[in-house]
């Protein structure tokens, strides 16, 4: 397959006339808005990549008069910081996105769940929100947004855990079904979208689905904001068209000695140098919520793996067996192998365990611990053992 | 230790007495006093008509809702991979030196608590720390001293 | 209806049915741990994962509703591998010292381990990585975190069934655990010792504190005279632990077994249940008279029953302002205890210091109750040891008694005679029914106007029951009650008790007399009863209780000849001086955590 190469894009942070887009959306019917989003091919920008238009469509189809649009700003994936930047720079576009989503699905109330680590942003976000509420009041549109804060729990980025947290409980993911579109926040039909997704939706309404559809590839339409860190001379936030290979990415952002790229954070995949050329960043290759970490040859992949496993052992909610105990076993297991206290073949058992966690865990956290584990162990086995 | 007094009642008036009021109430108490005492958790439980074990169970789920005594300024050093790669250990040992405490401890004058935490979203400006709500980034052992000194008054 | 396939067999079930229930219909067994029929679905342990064709992951059968055309495999390679891993993961966090464990061979994790995890364990032992603690602070039960598999059945029990939430899930990740308020000892939190969590714990993490050895020591001590009393609900459940189906009455065999175990006298809590009716009934009538006729509000209405020690501790913690509403009557167990070392000792010419008083209870809270400092009115600890139904079954097995072959026998005399009214104390509504049978007759001279004395409105498993009894044809002494409508309510399970307590405390409900039992179904569903206990089993036990009642010659407490005798010989009169000294008690306000 011919790939797209690396192209910088400026959609998310582009300054636009918020009122103009919203007026445009208000003149459209609910179906028309949803149709635009469906046609754009937009998939959720938090990482899981569920088609946004479908989420809105399902929520819109629910009969309950009370529905919610929730903005997931619990950006906790190691290596992701783009949502903070988006809220910092273009919060009003997030609010507009929620309003348009609300209009599309019949929700009059929106919540933004902001991670506690970003609380310092709140004063300026409130100022923006106040202005925004005034704006929509002036045109007589009934919609309001409230902030809810996290308090340091990675798992609350999982949609149903996030609802639990807003409702005042421990952030423990729920059984699904029912899905949020049927029974979400306060058991009401809810569409929960990532910060960037909502802003992207605004830009799709502004520019039209066709324009957006032109960007990206068949499975990964449009562009995406990447959070780039690690061994790179230019760490930071970059909006890039989807469809590039890891090689093309490394050519631009690497330090000349890149050994591996961790795509998608701790719950994502580790791509080794030998696979840079063949791996596309996107849903056809390695999906990402934006986290891109580069590692050069001075870095120990054991340390990387250990750091991630330690992270998961702490940040698992702890309710389900495969995730709670599995994370501890993977962590202790690699420690034992490294110290020579367990045979190197024990890694094979741990890989099987990672597979079990992938299929038997209750939520996306437990199901994705195996991604990093397997891709690191399989590609850098010798670094884990010796 | 701090006195609970009427604080919880006032917060319940402000945020409501539903279960969903629990997080905002606990968060506001922690912002003010840095941690939750047993007394305050019992008072919250009473106001919201839920069990104290539930309040504790919920609080203890969230890293920032401390139920152990904390100092006036809580320093959280990011320990996730990029900060770790970019000198987190030097930051921690510098802080341990100037505060004369280990990670997990509070200074005897209750001014500082030193903790490690998971990714705080500043990987491109690693190493990073939070002091209370404020992030400090691109730190070196030298700059972190200046930052902390600013909190010593 | 929804049609789906499980292991290639087609099944039609109602919408909303879970895959687990659908499989059960086909006779396909899917193992579970966190699932319990009394509790909401958790989907935590993941032991019940099965494969759904086309699904990305395995699904938890307990939490997944069926859908049309589903194709489920419960025993595929993928499922077996995952299940084995999950069982092994649970074992790796669990201190598996099975032969030392009270739940050995009664442990659901052990059963699964036998099926899935024999031979070498795959994973590393994590037990030492956790700083597990064992809480022995309660006299009723032990909480051993090293046996806990975090299924949260106990947490759901404590909140959903009991509205207590003395325990909750705390921390997260590897540190997640079941904890009281900030790890305080269970003896110092709102825990009512009801033992419903103990009854539902699949492992040895929550077990009753056992006193079997102490009881054996007393039995073998020639200096000691060991009396045993058996609570009403024990006789309809003990059989379950000895190979009988739920609902089989084993009263007579139980008496024989107790005698064979070596107890010096086998007596019946039902006797003091009858006595409770006289004392509590008199107290109620006195309160009614004081409040309604004499306008003397030094006594409170409505009056709550006080037989259930779990309920007593609940109200002491949660509604201390209503303590005056509690009947001052001790529970039948404690009335028995106080009389055993006074009245019984005198009659049998025994030195009370040589009497060891043992009770067999369906309850763990009774262990706590016996330990309350108030419960020493005989001058000694009124009840020395409380054993649960389960512990009695253990003793019977330890003694090598072939229970089935035993000849039934009768209780000994002096505090061994009882009526059907005493028996029905074991079911929710039973105390109310027994009280009404006596009180109505006391004030009207006629039996309660219900066929066969069966007061059906107060029976059954509804959480909160209400009834109104019109009092007509009163005798001269009780003329002030003529035409009065006695409003009563009954609740079982503390979640229901809380509803009534809240309604009463806020003035939303007007009753005269309220029966509360801490456990679902009343004592028959007590925390000390055989495991498993669930709605179907409670129903069977209830039927057995009412059947026992119907088979009794005497069915009204005041007709119990031993009751008549004890007032003549010893107590003088109901609520008299001696009664107050021995049979009544007081309550204390407790902390709200």
Calculate the average pLDDT of chain C.
97
Q: Which residue of chain C is at minimal alpha-carbon distance from B47? A: C592
Q: Looking at the structure, do residues C20 and C165 belong to the same domain, yes or no?
A: no
Comparing C-alpha atoms, which of B76, B12, B64 is closest to residue B40?
A: B12
In a domain, A82, yes or no: yes
**What percentage of residues in chain B have a pLDDT greater than 70?**
100
For position C195, which CATH number holds? 3.30.70.20
- Which amino acids of C are annotated catalytic? 280, 283, 307, 327, 366, 369, 374, 523
Tens digit of each residue's pLDDT (9 = 90 or more) over C175-206:
999 999 999 999 999 999 999 999 999 999 99
Give the count of alpha carbons within 13 A of A121, CB side only.
24
- The domain in which residue C188 lies consists of 121-208
User: Looking at chain B, which subunits does it touch, using at least 3 CB pairs closer than 8 Å as the criterion?
Assistant: A, C
Q: Does the predicted model carry a pTM greater than 0.95?
A: yes
Parallel, antiparallel or unpaired: strands A258-263 and A269-272: antiparallel
Q: What is the pLDDT of residue A271?
A: 98
For the stretch A306-359, pLDDT in tens is 999 999 999 999 999 999 999 999 999 999 999 999 999 999 999 999 999 999
Q: Are residues B95 and B37 in the same domain?
A: no
Size of interface A-C (CB pairs under 8 A): 119
User: Which member of A117, A299, A307 has the closest CB to residue B121?
Assistant: A117
- How many whole angstroms from its chain centre is CA A182? 21
Domain that holds residue B110: 73-149
d(CA A88, CA A127): 12
Q: Which residues of chain B are within 8 Å of residue A228 when distances are taken between CB atoms?
A: 124
End-of-domain residue from the set A194, A213, A232? A213
Look at A180 and A7; give whichever has higher pLDDT.
Answer: A180
CA atoms of A365 and A370, how far apart (whole Å): 9
Which residue in the set A117, A171, A304 is minimally distant from B61, CB to CB? A171
Q: What DSSP letter does each residue of A227-283 carry, written as one string? A: EEEES-SS-EEEEEETT-BHHHHHHHH--S-EEEEEESGGGSEEEEGGGTTT-BBST
Residues of C in contact with A48 (CB under 8 A): none
- Do C592 and B50 lie within an 8 Å CB cutoff? no
How many beta carbons lie within 10 A of that of residue C1, not counting itself? 9
Find the angle CA(C567)-CA(C572)-CA(C577) to the nearest 5 degrees. 125
CATH of the domain at A336: 1.20.1440.230
- Judged against a pLDDT cut of 90, whether residue B153 lies above it is answered with no
CB A42 within 8 A of CB A52: yes
Let me know: does A69 contact A188? Beta carbons within 8 Å: no
Q: How many domains does chain A have?
A: 2
Write down which residue in A213, A231, A246 finishes a domain: A213
Question: Does a structural domain hold residue C71?
Answer: yes
CATH number, position A31? 3.40.50.11540
Measured CA to CA in angstroms, residue B81 lies from A73, A157, A231, B144 at distances of 21, 19, 11, 19
Q: Is C309 within a domain? A: yes
Instruction: Tell me how close the Cα of A218 comes to any Cα of chain B, in angstroms.
Output: 30
Same domain, B38 and B87: no
Give the relative orientation of helices B88-99 and B141-149 as an angle to the nearest 10 degrees: 40
CATH assignment of the domain containing B79:
3.40.30.10
In the three-class reduction of DSSP (H, G, I as helix; E, B as strand; rest coil), residue B69 is classed as coil
| Contact criterion met (CB < 8 Å) for B118 and A78 | yes
Per DSSP, chain B holds a count of helices (H) and strands (E) of 7, 4
**Is A261 a domain residue?**
no
- B104 plus B80 within the same structural domain: yes
A194 and A49 part of one domain: yes
- The candidate with the shortest Cα–Cα distance to B52, out of C165, C497, C138, is C165
Give C219-243 pLDDT, tens digit per residue.
999 999 999 999 999 999 999 999 9
A10 lies in some domain? no
For the stretch C90-113, pLDDT in tens is 999 999 999 999 999 999 999 999
Look up the CATH number of the domain holding residue C50.
Answer: 3.10.20.740
In this structure, are B41 and B80 located in the same domain? Answer: no
Residue A194 lies in a domain: yes
The residues in A 207-236 lying below 8 A from B, measured between CB atoms, are: 227-231, 235-236
pLDDT at C119 (0 to 100) = 81
Judge whether A319 and A164 are in contact, CB under 8 Å: no
- C450 and C569 share one domain: yes
Q: Do C173 and A316 touch (CB under 8 A)?
A: yes
The verdict on a CB contact (< 8 Å) between C181 and B53 is: yes
Tell me which of A83-92, C54-63, C286-295 is least confident. Answer: C286-295
The total domain count for chain C is: 3
Among the partner-chain residues A177, A360, A362, the one whose CB lies closest to the CB of C82 is A360
Among A213, A238, A256, the domain-final residue is A213
Please answer yes or no on whether B42 and C181 come within 8 Å at the CB atom. Answer: yes
Q: Would A229 be classed as within a structural domain?
A: no
What is the predicted pLDDT for the residue at A1?
43
Residue A3 pLDDT more than 80? no
The answer to whether A12 faces chain B, any CB pair under 8 Å, is no
pLDDT in tens, C327-359: 999 999 999 999 999 999 999 999 999 999 999
pLDDT band for position A273 (cuts 50, 70, 90): very high
> What confidence tier does C117 reach under pLDDT thresholds 50, 70, 90?
confident
* Whether B137 contacts chain A with CB within 8 A: no
3-state secondary structure of A51: strand
One domain, residues C568 and C444: yes
* Chain C residues 127-166 with CB within 8 Å of chain A: 129, 149-150, 152
Interface contact A170-B27, CB threshold 8 A: no
Which of helix, strand or coil describes residue C97? coil
Do β-strands A269-272 and C2-6 pair in parallel, antiparallel, or remain unpaired?
unpaired
Structural domain contains residue B31: yes
Whether residue A367 and residue C57 make contact (CB cut-off 8 A), yes or no, is: yes
A240 falls within a domain: no
Q: Which of residues 180-219 of A touch C (CB under 8 A)?
A: none
For residue C171, the chain B residues in CB contact (below 8 A) are 60-61
Given the cut 0.85, state whether the ipTM is greater than it: yes
Residue B67 maps to a domain: no
Residue that has been written with the tokens 């060991």 in this structure: C226
Residue of B nearest to C164 (CA): B51
Domains identified in chain B, total number: 2
Pairwise CB contact (< 8 Å): A227 & B20: no
Residue A47: per-residue pLDDT: 85
Read off the tokens for C82: 């995952």
Average pLDDT over residues C404-411: 98
- For A308, the domain range is 301-385
Q: What is the pLDDT of residues A101-132, one digit of tens each?
A: 999 999 999 999 999 999 999 999 999 999 99
Residues A194 and A334 occupy one common structural domain: no
């Amino acid at each position: 397959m011919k790939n797209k190469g690396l192209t910088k894009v400026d959609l998310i942070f582009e300054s636009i006339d918020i009122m103009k887009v919203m007026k445009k959306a208000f003149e459209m019917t609910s179906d028309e808005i949803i149709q635009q989003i469906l046609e754009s091919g937009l998939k959720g920008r938090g990482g899981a990549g569920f088609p946004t238009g479908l989420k809105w469509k399902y929520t819109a189809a629910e009969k309950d008069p009370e529905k919610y649009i929730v903005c997931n700003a619990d950006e906790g994936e190691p290596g992701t910081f783009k949502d903070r930047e988006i809220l910092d720079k273009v919060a009003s576009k997030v609010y507009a996105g929620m309003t348009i989503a609300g209009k599309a699905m019949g929700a009059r109330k929106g919540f933004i769940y902001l991670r506690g680590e970003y609380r310092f942003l709140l004063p300026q976000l409130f100022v923006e929100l106040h202005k925004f509420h005034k704006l929509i009041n002036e045109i007589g549109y009934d919609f309001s947004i409230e902030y809810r804060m996290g308090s340091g729990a990675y798992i609350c980025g999982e949609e149903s855990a996030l609802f639990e947290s807003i409702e005042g409980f421990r952030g423990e993911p729920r059984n699904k079904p029912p899905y949020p579109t049927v029974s979400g926040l306060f058991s009401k039909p809810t569409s929960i979208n990532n910060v960037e997704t909502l802003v992207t939706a605004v830009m799709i309404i502004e520019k039209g689905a066709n324009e957006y559809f032109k960007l990206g590839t068949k499975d990964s339409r449009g562009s995406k904001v990447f959070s780039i860190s690690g061994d790179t001379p230019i760490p930071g936030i970059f909006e890039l068209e989807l469809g590039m290979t890891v090689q093309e990415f490394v050519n631009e952002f690497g330090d000349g000695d890149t050994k591996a790229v961790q795509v998608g954070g701790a719950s994502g995949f580790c791509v080794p140098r030998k696979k840079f050329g063949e791996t596309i960043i996107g849903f056809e290759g390695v999906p990402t919520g934006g986290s891109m970490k580069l590692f050069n040859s001075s870095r120990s992949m054991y340390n990387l793996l250990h750091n991630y496993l330690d992270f998961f052992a702490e940040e698992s909610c702890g309710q389900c067996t495969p995730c709670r105990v599995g994370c501890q076993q993977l962590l202790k297991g690699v420690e034992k192998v490294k110290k020579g206290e367990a045979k190197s073949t024990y890694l094979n058992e741990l890989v099987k365990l990672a597979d079990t966690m992938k299929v038997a865990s209750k939520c996306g956290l437990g199901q994705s611990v195996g991604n990093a584990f397997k891709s690191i162990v399989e590609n850098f086995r010798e670094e884990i053992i010796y | 230790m701090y006195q609970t007094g009427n604080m919880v009642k006032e917060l319940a008036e402000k945020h409501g007495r539903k279960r969903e009021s629990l997080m905002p109430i606990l968060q506001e108490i922690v912002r003010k006093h840095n941690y939750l005492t047993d007394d305050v958790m019992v008072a919250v439980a009473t106001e919201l008509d839920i069990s104290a074990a539930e309040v504790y169970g919920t609080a203890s789920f969230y890293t920032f809702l401390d139920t152990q005594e904390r100092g006036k300024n809580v320093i959280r050093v990011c320990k996730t991979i990029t900060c770790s790669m970019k000198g987190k250990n030097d930051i921690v040992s510098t802080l341990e030196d100037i505060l004369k405490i280990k990670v997990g401890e509070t200074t005897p004058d209750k001014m500082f608590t030193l903790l490690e935490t998971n990714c705080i979203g500043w990987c491109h400006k690693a190493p990073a720390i939070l002091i209370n709500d404020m992030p400090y980034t691109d730190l070196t052992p030298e700059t972190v001293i200046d930052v902390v000194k600013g909190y010593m008054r | 209806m929804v049609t789906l396939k499980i292991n290639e067999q087609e099944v039609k079930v109602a919408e909303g049915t879970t895959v687990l229930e659908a499989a059960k219909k086909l006779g396909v067994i899917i193992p579970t741990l966190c699932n319990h029929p009394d509790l909401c679905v958790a989907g935590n342990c993941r032991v019940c994962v099965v494969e759904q064709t086309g699904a990305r992951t395995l699904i938890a059968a307990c939490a997944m509703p069926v859908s049309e055309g589903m194709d489920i495999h419960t025993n595929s390679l993928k499922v077996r591998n995952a299940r084995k891993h999950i069982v092994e993961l649970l074992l790796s966090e669990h201190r598996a010292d099975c032969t030392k464990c009270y739940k050995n061979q009664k442990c659901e994790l052990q059963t699964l381990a036998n099926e899935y995890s024999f031979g070498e364990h795959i994973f590393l032992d994590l037990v030492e990585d956790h700083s597990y603690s064992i809480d022995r602070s309660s006299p009723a039960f032990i909480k051993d975190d090293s046996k806990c598999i975090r299924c949260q059945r106990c947490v759901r029990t404590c909140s959903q069934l009991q509205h207590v939430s003395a325990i909750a899930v705390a921390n997260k990740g590897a540190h997640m655990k079941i904890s009281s308020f900030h790890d305080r000892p269970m003896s110092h939190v709102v825990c009512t010792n009801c033992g419903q969590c103990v009854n539902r714990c699949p492992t040895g993490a929550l077990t009753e504190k056992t006193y079997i050895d102490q009881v054996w020591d007393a039995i073998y001590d020639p200096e000691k005279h060991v009396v045993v009393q058996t609570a009403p609900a024990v006789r309809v459940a003990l059989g379950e632990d000895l190979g009988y189906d739920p609902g089989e009455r084993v009263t007579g065999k139980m008496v024989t077994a107790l005698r064979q175990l070596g107890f010096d006298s086998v007596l019946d809590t039902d006797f003091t249940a009858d006595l409770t009716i006289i004392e509590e009934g008199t107290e109620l009538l006195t309160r009614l008279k004081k409040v309604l006729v004499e306008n003397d509000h030094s006594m409170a209405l409505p009056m709550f029953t006080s037989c259930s020690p779990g309920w007593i501790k609940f109200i002491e913690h949660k509604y201390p302002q209503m303590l005056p509403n509690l009947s001052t009557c001790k529970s039948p167990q404690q009335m028995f205890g106080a009389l055993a070392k006074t009245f019984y000792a005198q009659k049998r010419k025994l030195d009370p210091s040589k009497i060891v008083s043992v009770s067999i209870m369906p309850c763990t809270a009774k262990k706590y109750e016996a330990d309350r400092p108030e419960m020493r009115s005989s001058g000694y600890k009124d009840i020395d040891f409380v054993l649960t139904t389960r512990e009695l079954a253990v003793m019977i097995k330890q003694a090598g008694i072939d229970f089935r072959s035993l000849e039934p026998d009768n209780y000994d005399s002096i505090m061994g005679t009882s009526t059907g009214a005493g028996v029905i104390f074991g079911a929710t509504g039973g105390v109310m029914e027994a009280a009404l049978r006596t009180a109505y007759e006391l004030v009207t001279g006629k039996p309660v106007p219900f066929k066969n004395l069966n007061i059906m409105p107060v029976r059954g498993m509804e959480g909160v029951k209400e009834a109104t009894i019109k009092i007509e044809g009163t005798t001269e002494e009780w003329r002030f009650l003529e035409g009065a409508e006695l409003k009563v309510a009954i609740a079982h399970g503390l979640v229901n008790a809380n509803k009534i307590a809240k309604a009463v405390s806020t003035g939303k409900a007007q009753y005269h007399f309220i029966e509360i039992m801490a456990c679902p179904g009343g004592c028959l569903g007590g925390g000390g009863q055989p495991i498993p206990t669930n709605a179907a089993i409670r129903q069977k036990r209830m039927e057995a209780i009412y059947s026992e009642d119907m088979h009794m010659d005497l069915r009204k407490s005041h007709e119990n000849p031993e009751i008549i005798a004890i007032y003549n010989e010893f107590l003088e009169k109901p609520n008299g001086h001696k009664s107050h000294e021995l049979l009544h008690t007081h309550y204390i306000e407790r902390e709200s955590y």
